[in-house]
Amino acid sequence: MTADDTEVVSRPWLVALAQAAPATGSDPVAALAEEVASLCADRPDLSMVVYPEIHLFGGSDLARDANEWLADAAEPLDGPRVAALAEIAAAHRIWLIPGSLAERDGDAVYNTAVVFAPNGRLVAAYRKVFPWRPYEAWAPGADWVTFDVPEIGRFGLSICFDSWFPESTRQLGWLGADIVLNLVKTVGEDRAQEVVLAQANAIVNQVYFLSVNAAGPVGAGRSVYVDPGGRVIAERPDAAPAVTIVEIDPDEVQEVRAHATVGLNRLGQQIWPGDAPIYLPAYDGTMTPDRRAPSSAADAGVPTSDDAPTGGGWGDGRQEDVG
Protein backbone atom coordinates (compact mmCIF):
# COMPACT_ATOMS: atom_id res chain seq x y z
CA MET A 1 0.00 0.00 0.00
CA THR A 2 1.21 3.49 -0.80
CA ALA A 3 0.71 6.80 0.93
CA ASP A 4 -1.65 7.76 -1.93
CA ASP A 5 -4.27 5.28 -0.71
CA THR A 6 -5.51 7.60 1.99
CA GLU A 7 -5.15 11.07 3.33
CA VAL A 8 -3.12 11.67 6.47
CA VAL A 9 -5.36 10.61 9.32
CA SER A 10 -6.11 12.58 12.43
CA ARG A 11 -7.27 11.26 15.77
CA PRO A 12 -9.74 10.07 16.91
CA TRP A 13 -9.96 7.26 14.35
CA LEU A 14 -13.49 5.87 14.32
CA VAL A 15 -14.81 2.56 13.00
CA ALA A 16 -18.53 1.99 12.41
CA LEU A 17 -19.43 -1.67 12.87
CA ALA A 18 -22.87 -2.50 11.48
CA GLN A 19 -24.71 -5.37 13.15
CA ALA A 20 -27.08 -5.63 10.21
CA ALA A 21 -29.46 -8.21 8.78
CA PRO A 22 -28.22 -9.86 5.58
CA ALA A 23 -29.18 -7.71 2.60
CA THR A 24 -31.86 -8.97 0.22
CA GLY A 25 -33.69 -7.50 -2.75
CA SER A 26 -32.80 -7.04 -6.39
CA ASP A 27 -29.76 -4.79 -5.80
CA PRO A 28 -28.11 -5.28 -2.38
CA VAL A 29 -25.09 -3.19 -3.41
CA ALA A 30 -27.30 -0.19 -4.15
CA ALA A 31 -28.98 -0.66 -0.77
CA LEU A 32 -25.56 -0.74 0.88
CA ALA A 33 -24.60 2.46 -0.94
CA GLU A 34 -27.66 4.21 0.52
CA GLU A 35 -26.89 2.93 4.02
CA VAL A 36 -23.28 4.05 3.87
CA ALA A 37 -24.28 7.46 2.49
CA SER A 38 -26.74 7.97 5.35
CA LEU A 39 -24.24 6.79 7.95
CA CYS A 40 -21.49 9.07 6.65
CA ALA A 41 -23.88 12.02 6.47
CA ASP A 42 -24.77 11.51 10.13
CA ARG A 43 -21.17 10.85 11.16
CA PRO A 44 -18.75 12.64 8.81
CA ASP A 45 -15.95 11.85 11.27
CA LEU A 46 -16.01 8.12 10.41
CA SER A 47 -12.83 6.58 9.00
CA MET A 48 -13.98 2.97 8.38
CA VAL A 49 -17.28 1.13 7.93
CA VAL A 50 -17.52 -2.64 8.46
CA TYR A 51 -20.36 -5.09 7.72
CA PRO A 52 -20.79 -8.78 8.71
CA GLU A 53 -19.89 -11.94 6.83
CA ILE A 54 -21.58 -12.51 3.45
CA HIS A 55 -23.75 -9.45 4.12
CA LEU A 56 -24.77 -8.80 0.50
CA PHE A 57 -26.08 -12.32 -0.03
CA GLY A 58 -29.19 -12.51 2.11
CA GLY A 59 -31.02 -14.25 -0.72
CA SER A 60 -29.20 -17.43 0.23
CA ASP A 61 -31.22 -17.59 3.46
CA LEU A 62 -34.42 -17.97 1.44
CA ALA A 63 -33.02 -20.49 -1.03
CA ARG A 64 -33.73 -24.20 -1.07
CA ASP A 65 -29.98 -24.84 -1.22
CA ALA A 66 -27.92 -21.96 0.19
CA ASN A 67 -24.59 -23.30 -1.08
CA GLU A 68 -25.95 -23.65 -4.62
CA TRP A 69 -27.42 -20.13 -4.47
CA LEU A 70 -24.10 -18.66 -3.32
CA ALA A 71 -22.18 -20.47 -6.04
CA ASP A 72 -24.53 -19.02 -8.66
CA ALA A 73 -24.13 -15.52 -7.19
CA ALA A 74 -20.33 -15.66 -7.01
CA GLU A 75 -18.23 -13.31 -9.14
CA PRO A 76 -14.48 -12.88 -9.62
CA LEU A 77 -12.85 -9.95 -7.86
CA ASP A 78 -12.49 -8.10 -11.16
CA GLY A 79 -16.26 -8.30 -11.72
CA PRO A 80 -18.95 -5.61 -11.54
CA ARG A 81 -19.83 -6.19 -7.87
CA VAL A 82 -16.36 -5.27 -6.64
CA ALA A 83 -16.22 -2.30 -9.02
CA ALA A 84 -19.49 -0.95 -7.59
CA LEU A 85 -18.28 -1.40 -4.02
CA ALA A 86 -15.07 0.46 -4.84
CA GLU A 87 -17.15 3.42 -5.98
CA ILE A 88 -18.92 3.54 -2.60
CA ALA A 89 -15.63 3.76 -0.71
CA ALA A 90 -14.28 6.45 -3.03
CA ALA A 91 -17.49 8.50 -2.91
CA HIS A 92 -17.26 8.87 0.86
CA ARG A 93 -13.47 8.73 1.30
CA ILE A 94 -13.72 5.90 3.80
CA TRP A 95 -12.15 2.52 4.37
CA LEU A 96 -14.92 0.06 3.47
CA ILE A 97 -15.27 -3.60 4.42
CA PRO A 98 -18.70 -4.49 2.96
CA GLY A 99 -18.77 -7.93 4.57
CA SER A 100 -17.32 -10.92 2.76
CA LEU A 101 -18.23 -11.82 -0.81
CA ALA A 102 -18.91 -15.01 -2.74
CA GLU A 103 -15.82 -15.04 -4.95
CA ARG A 104 -15.49 -17.27 -7.99
CA ASP A 105 -12.01 -18.28 -9.17
CA GLY A 106 -12.32 -20.89 -11.88
CA ASP A 107 -14.30 -23.81 -10.47
CA ALA A 108 -13.68 -22.78 -6.85
CA VAL A 109 -15.97 -20.53 -4.82
CA TYR A 110 -14.49 -18.74 -1.80
CA ASN A 111 -15.91 -16.73 1.09
CA THR A 112 -13.72 -13.65 0.66
CA ALA A 113 -13.43 -10.54 2.82
CA VAL A 114 -12.50 -7.45 0.79
CA VAL A 115 -11.11 -4.09 1.86
CA PHE A 116 -11.33 -0.83 -0.08
CA ALA A 117 -9.16 2.22 0.67
CA PRO A 118 -10.64 5.75 0.65
CA ASN A 119 -9.61 6.18 -2.98
CA GLY A 120 -11.62 3.08 -3.94
CA ARG A 121 -8.65 0.78 -4.46
CA LEU A 122 -9.08 -2.86 -3.47
CA VAL A 123 -6.17 -3.27 -1.05
CA ALA A 124 -6.85 -6.65 0.54
CA ALA A 125 -8.80 -9.84 -0.13
CA TYR A 126 -8.89 -12.71 2.36
CA ARG A 127 -10.39 -16.12 1.60
CA LYS A 128 -11.85 -17.81 4.68
CA VAL A 129 -9.40 -20.50 5.73
CA PHE A 130 -11.79 -22.41 8.00
CA PRO A 131 -15.24 -22.80 6.38
CA TRP A 132 -17.91 -24.00 8.81
CA ARG A 133 -17.90 -27.64 7.82
CA PRO A 134 -19.88 -29.73 7.07
CA TYR A 135 -22.48 -27.00 6.53
CA GLU A 136 -20.58 -24.66 4.19
CA ALA A 137 -19.33 -25.68 0.75
CA TRP A 138 -16.74 -22.90 0.37
CA ALA A 139 -13.30 -23.83 -0.90
CA PRO A 140 -10.85 -23.10 1.93
CA GLY A 141 -8.37 -20.27 1.53
CA ALA A 142 -4.68 -20.79 2.14
CA ASP A 143 -3.25 -17.36 3.02
CA TRP A 144 -3.44 -14.99 5.98
CA VAL A 145 -4.02 -11.39 4.95
CA THR A 146 -3.23 -8.05 6.58
CA PHE A 147 -3.36 -4.45 5.41
CA ASP A 148 -1.92 -1.23 6.77
CA VAL A 149 -3.69 2.02 7.59
CA PRO A 150 -1.07 4.79 7.83
CA GLU A 151 -0.58 6.16 11.34
CA ILE A 152 -3.15 3.73 12.80
CA GLY A 153 -1.73 0.23 12.47
CA ARG A 154 -1.95 -3.10 10.77
CA PHE A 155 -5.31 -4.81 10.39
CA GLY A 156 -5.86 -8.55 10.02
CA LEU A 157 -8.91 -10.22 8.47
CA SER A 158 -10.85 -13.08 10.04
CA ILE A 159 -14.17 -14.64 9.04
CA CYS A 160 -16.57 -16.24 11.52
CA PHE A 161 -15.44 -19.83 12.24
CA ASP A 162 -11.79 -18.77 11.94
CA SER A 163 -12.11 -17.43 15.49
CA TRP A 164 -12.57 -20.96 16.83
CA PHE A 165 -9.04 -21.84 15.71
CA PRO A 166 -6.44 -20.04 17.86
CA GLU A 167 -3.87 -20.55 15.11
CA SER A 168 -5.83 -18.14 12.92
CA THR A 169 -5.58 -15.04 15.09
CA ARG A 170 -2.10 -15.98 16.28
CA GLN A 171 -0.88 -16.01 12.68
CA LEU A 172 -2.35 -12.55 12.09
CA GLY A 173 -0.63 -11.32 15.24
CA TRP A 174 2.60 -12.95 14.08
CA LEU A 175 2.30 -10.96 10.85
CA GLY A 176 2.08 -7.78 12.89
CA ALA A 177 -1.67 -7.21 13.13
CA ASP A 178 -2.72 -4.66 15.74
CA ILE A 179 -6.45 -4.89 15.00
CA VAL A 180 -8.35 -8.00 13.86
CA LEU A 181 -11.67 -7.56 12.04
CA ASN A 182 -13.79 -10.68 12.55
CA LEU A 183 -16.75 -10.72 10.12
CA VAL A 184 -19.45 -13.09 11.32
CA LYS A 185 -22.76 -14.64 10.29
CA THR A 186 -23.53 -16.87 13.23
CA VAL A 187 -27.18 -17.90 13.44
CA GLY A 188 -27.27 -20.24 16.44
CA GLU A 189 -26.70 -20.56 20.16
CA ASP A 190 -22.94 -20.96 19.68
CA ARG A 191 -22.66 -17.18 19.53
CA ALA A 192 -22.36 -17.34 23.32
CA GLN A 193 -19.10 -19.26 22.93
CA GLU A 194 -17.87 -16.89 20.22
CA VAL A 195 -18.24 -13.92 22.55
CA VAL A 196 -15.83 -15.68 24.92
CA LEU A 197 -13.49 -16.52 22.03
CA ALA A 198 -13.42 -12.88 20.92
CA GLN A 199 -12.15 -11.81 24.31
CA ALA A 200 -9.68 -14.71 24.46
CA ASN A 201 -8.29 -13.95 20.99
CA ALA A 202 -7.74 -10.33 22.01
CA ILE A 203 -6.04 -11.28 25.28
CA VAL A 204 -3.62 -13.93 24.04
CA ASN A 205 -2.57 -11.91 20.99
CA GLN A 206 -2.75 -8.42 22.54
CA VAL A 207 -4.81 -7.05 19.64
CA TYR A 208 -8.10 -5.27 19.18
CA PHE A 209 -10.58 -8.01 18.22
CA LEU A 210 -13.70 -6.56 16.61
CA SER A 211 -16.32 -9.27 16.02
CA VAL A 212 -19.36 -7.98 14.11
CA ASN A 213 -22.19 -10.47 13.65
CA ALA A 214 -25.29 -10.42 11.46
CA ALA A 215 -28.49 -9.12 13.02
CA GLY A 216 -31.78 -10.98 13.33
CA PRO A 217 -34.03 -12.48 12.31
CA VAL A 218 -31.35 -14.60 10.63
CA GLY A 219 -28.23 -13.71 12.61
CA ALA A 220 -27.76 -14.16 16.34
CA GLY A 221 -26.28 -10.69 16.84
CA ARG A 222 -24.36 -10.13 20.08
CA SER A 223 -21.48 -8.35 18.33
CA VAL A 224 -18.57 -7.71 20.68
CA TYR A 225 -15.55 -5.42 20.47
CA VAL A 226 -12.50 -6.03 22.65
CA ASP A 227 -9.35 -3.96 23.25
CA PRO A 228 -5.75 -5.32 23.33
CA GLY A 229 -5.89 -5.79 27.09
CA GLY A 230 -8.99 -7.97 26.84
CA ARG A 231 -11.49 -5.35 28.00
CA VAL A 232 -14.88 -5.35 26.27
CA ILE A 233 -15.20 -1.77 25.04
CA ALA A 234 -18.61 -2.21 23.41
CA GLU A 235 -21.11 -4.99 22.78
CA ARG A 236 -24.65 -5.55 21.58
CA PRO A 237 -26.80 -7.50 24.02
CA ASP A 238 -29.19 -8.93 21.43
CA ALA A 239 -29.80 -9.49 17.72
CA ALA A 240 -31.38 -6.12 16.95
CA PRO A 241 -29.83 -4.11 14.10
CA ALA A 242 -27.37 -1.55 15.47
CA VAL A 243 -24.34 0.44 14.41
CA THR A 244 -21.58 0.71 17.01
CA ILE A 245 -18.84 3.34 16.76
CA VAL A 246 -15.50 2.22 18.16
CA GLU A 247 -12.44 4.42 18.49
CA ILE A 248 -9.11 2.80 17.65
CA ASP A 249 -6.20 4.12 19.70
CA PRO A 250 -3.00 3.37 17.75
CA ASP A 251 -0.95 3.65 20.94
CA GLU A 252 -3.01 1.16 22.93
CA VAL A 253 -1.57 -1.98 21.32
CA GLN A 254 2.02 -0.86 21.82
CA GLU A 255 1.27 0.18 25.39
CA VAL A 256 -0.11 -3.27 26.26
CA ARG A 257 2.69 -5.13 24.49
CA ALA A 258 5.41 -2.99 26.02
CA HIS A 259 4.08 -2.81 29.57
CA ALA A 260 2.12 -6.08 29.66
CA THR A 261 -1.52 -7.07 30.03
CA VAL A 262 -2.66 -5.72 33.42
CA GLY A 263 1.01 -4.91 33.99
CA LEU A 264 1.98 -8.58 34.26
CA ASN A 265 1.97 -10.67 31.07
CA ARG A 266 4.46 -9.90 28.27
CA LEU A 267 3.44 -12.50 25.69
CA GLY A 268 5.60 -11.15 22.88
CA GLN A 269 8.72 -11.40 25.03
CA GLN A 270 8.29 -15.01 26.08
CA ILE A 271 11.04 -16.46 23.88
CA TRP A 272 14.50 -15.13 24.67
CA PRO A 273 17.69 -15.22 22.58
CA GLY A 274 19.49 -18.44 23.39
CA ASP A 275 16.36 -20.39 24.26
CA ALA A 276 16.05 -23.81 22.67
CA PRO A 277 13.45 -24.07 19.89
CA ILE A 278 9.97 -25.02 21.07
CA TYR A 279 8.69 -27.87 18.93
CA LEU A 280 5.02 -27.71 17.95
CA PRO A 281 4.12 -31.28 16.92
CA ALA A 282 0.63 -30.35 15.72
CA TYR A 283 2.25 -28.28 12.95
CA ASP A 284 5.58 -30.04 12.59
CA GLY A 285 7.20 -26.66 13.24
CA THR A 286 9.09 -24.69 15.87
CA MET A 287 9.02 -21.37 17.68
CA THR A 288 12.47 -19.81 17.87
CA PRO A 289 13.81 -16.35 18.79
CA ASP A 290 15.25 -15.72 15.34
CA ARG A 291 11.80 -16.08 13.73
CA ARG A 292 10.25 -13.40 15.91
CA ALA A 293 11.46 -10.07 14.61
CA PRO A 294 9.75 -7.04 16.20
CA SER A 295 6.69 -5.70 14.39
CA SER A 296 7.38 -2.10 15.33
CA ALA A 297 9.93 0.23 16.85
CA ALA A 298 7.90 0.31 20.04
CA ASP A 299 8.11 -3.48 20.36
CA ALA A 300 11.84 -3.40 19.74
CA GLY A 301 12.96 -0.73 22.13
CA VAL A 302 10.84 -0.42 25.26
CA PRO A 303 12.53 -1.58 28.46
CA THR A 304 10.43 -4.05 30.43
CA SER A 305 12.42 -4.80 33.57
CA ASP A 306 15.98 -4.83 34.83
CA ASP A 307 16.46 -8.55 34.24
CA ALA A 308 14.35 -9.33 31.17
CA PRO A 309 15.30 -8.86 27.50
CA THR A 310 13.46 -6.27 25.40
CA GLY A 311 11.86 -6.63 22.01
CA GLY A 312 10.17 -9.58 20.40
CA GLY A 313 6.74 -8.35 19.33
CA TRP A 314 4.30 -10.69 17.63
CA GLY A 315 5.15 -9.54 14.13
CA ASP A 316 7.93 -10.85 11.91
CA GLY A 317 8.19 -7.68 9.83
CA ARG A 318 5.78 -6.10 7.42
CA GLN A 319 4.39 -8.39 4.75
CA GLU A 320 3.19 -7.14 1.37
CA ASP A 321 -0.58 -6.95 1.30
CA VAL A 322 -2.76 -9.11 -0.92
CA GLY A 323 -4.91 -6.97 -3.15
pLDDT tier for residue 317 given thresholds of 50, 70 and 90 = very low
Q: Quick one: how far is CA 159 from the chain centroid?
A: 7
Residues in the chain: 323
Which domains are assigned to the chain? Answer: 3-255 (3.60.110.10)
User: What whole-number percentage of the chain has pLDDT above 70?
Assistant: 86
Predicted confidence (pLDDT) at residue 11 exceeds the cutoff of 60: no
Provide the pLDDT for residue 110: 98
Q: Which of 145-149, 203-207, 319-323 has the lowest mean pLDDT?
A: 319-323
Q: Quick: pLDDT tens for 282-315.
A: 888 887 766 643 444 334 333 333 333 333 344 4
Provide the pLDDT for residue 276: 86
In the predicted model, what is the mean pLDDT of the chain? 87
Alpha carbon distance 204, 273 (integer Å): 21
Provide the pLDDT for residue 220: 98
